A and B are shown apart, each in its own frame.
Chain A
Amino acid sequence: MSAVLLGLLQAAGELLSPFAVEVGGMPLDAPGGNSAPCVHDLDGDGRFDLVVGEYEDGAVRFYRNVGAPGAPRFEAGVRLKHAQGELRVPYG
């Protein structure tokens, strides 16, 4: 298989050193690792929330944003459900 790229230009200085999202004063740590974040205002309150996939059971967890604009703050995550049970995807 071919993998042709024309060259990579280092984006030096485009991003600051990272910090971890916190929940209740501790880093948000997706059970089983393999955190897969998505941003959406799921509760329709005008603030973006976090929806994060995790390895444990292939579950997806909703972290509600209760902070002020520019200073997001998240409640403890709750596993999403669908009409017939817990929302999970095949994992391995």
Chain B
Amino acid sequence: MDLDRDGAVDLLTGSFQPGDVLLFRGRKAEDGGGFEPPHALVDRHGEVLRVGRASWPQAVDWDRDGDLDLVLGNMYGALFLARNRSSGAKLELEPPVELTVAGQPVKFDETNAAPLLADWDQDGALDLLLGLSSGRVLFFRNTTTSGESVLAAPRELVAPAPPGVTGTLPRSGLRARVAVVDWNQDGRSDLLVGEYAPRDGEARELDEGEREQLAAAMRASLSVAEERGRLESDELLKWLRVRGLSIDDGPAHYENFLLDFKGLPATRALDDRLLELAATQRRLSATNIDRGYVWVYLRAPKDSQPAEPPR
């Protein structure tokens, strides 16, 4: 994807917290190739583009006006659209708004919405494929071939993973993340699905020093998490107070708070510390080894597939 249309492939990613959308601009071969360091995308008002934790962006010309817009998912199962107003190579993104189907926001009672725009039914229009926390993959057919994209109600392509230790199953696990490619070159798009699939490994024998190190890391994690929780709670209370809300309103407004909360230097430092401690614990404990395969779902032979409804 060449987001800035300068002739070099760029890398666009989301991130976990606070959920900045990051662009690693590609460099042309004559300039050394590779990528530039990342920068967070901003909207046309100069505000950092955010939809919440675990952002998942996709660049697509949603309204077919000649520029690239962004469709984004987040950790809470919601989808957003950030329109590009430049009609050209620039990024002049509007703040994200909820994406709708039949006038209703697209949101599920699942987490980790991971959208992909691809022409799944190969009719010339980019459809929406959506991976979700249960491991299921939904297909929203794009019913238009010009102007604004309009999505049909979804159809399930991949069912949710069965409950249990998904890392032992011969299929994709949880938190489906999808890609589309003609894997076997039969002229039809196939589906690739990434996963989060917990599995139990065998704990290795630790020496005394390693056991003390592991115990210290676990104690430190609890302490750091408590401190971080206190800082965030303080900020939440201030946010509620400014809006005339009470502490009882906290749970209902927590997601909105997270969209506004850009983090404090102190909370970011604590987040980094928690990640270091988690890496230490993973390295030493080696018990739960989460599987992360990439699964290929080839298309079934054409005569076995259901007929497409008329546009």
B142 partner residues in chain A, CB cutoff 8 A: none
Name the residue of chain B whose CB is nearest to the CB of A3: B107
What distance in Å separates the Cβ of A16 from its nearest Cβ neighbour in chain B? 5
Q: Does B9 contact A (CB under 8 A)?
A: yes
In the assembled complex, the Cα of A52 lies from the Cα of B177 at a distance in Å of: 10
Q: In B277-311, which residues have CB < 8 Å from any A CB?
A: 279, 282, 290-300, 304-306
In the assembled complex, the Cα of A87 lies from the Cα of B14 at a distance in Å of: 13
In the assembled complex, the Cα of A15 lies from the Cα of B183 at a distance in Å of: 13
Chain A, residues 45-80, CB within 8 Å of chain B (1/0): the string is 000101111110110100000000111100000001
- Total contacting residues, chain B, CB less than 8 A: 76
Task: Evaluate contact between A20 and B296: CB separation under 8 angstroms.
Answer: yes
In the assembled complex, the Cα of A19 lies from the Cα of B294 at a distance in Å of: 9
Q: Does B108 contact A (CB under 8 A)?
A: yes
Name the residue of chain A whose CB is nearest to the CB of B22: A89
Q: A14-B305, A16-B299 are in contact. Are A55 and B290 (CB under 8 A)?
A: yes
Q: In A28-54, which residues have CB < 8 Å from any B CB?
A: 28-40, 42, 48, 50-54
Task: Evaluate contact between B294 and A83: CB separation under 8 angstroms.
Answer: no
Q: A27-B293, A35-B292 are in contact. Are A83 and B171 (CB under 8 A)?
A: no
Task: Evaluate contact between B15 and A29: CB separation under 8 angstroms.
Answer: no
Task: Evaluate contact between A21 and B295: CB separation under 8 angstroms.
Answer: yes
In the assembled complex, the Cα of A42 lies from the Cα of B197 at a distance in Å of: 28
Task: Evaluate contact between B297 and A16: CB separation under 8 angstroms.
Answer: yes
Chain B, residues 64-104, CB within 8 Å of chain A (1/0): the string is 00000000000001100000000000000000000001101
In the assembled complex, the Cα of A90 lies from the Cα of B8 at a distance in Å of: 24
Residues on A facing B (Cβ under 8 Å): 1-21, 27-40, 42, 48, 50-55, 57-58, 60, 69-72, 80-85, 87, 89-92
Q: Give 18 CB contacts A-B under 8 Å.
A: A4-B105, A13-B300, A15-B297, A16-B298, A18-B295, A20-B294, A32-B282, A34-B194, A35-B294, A37-B192, A53-B13, A70-B184, A82-B34, A84-B37, A89-B16, A90-B20, A91-B16, A92-B271
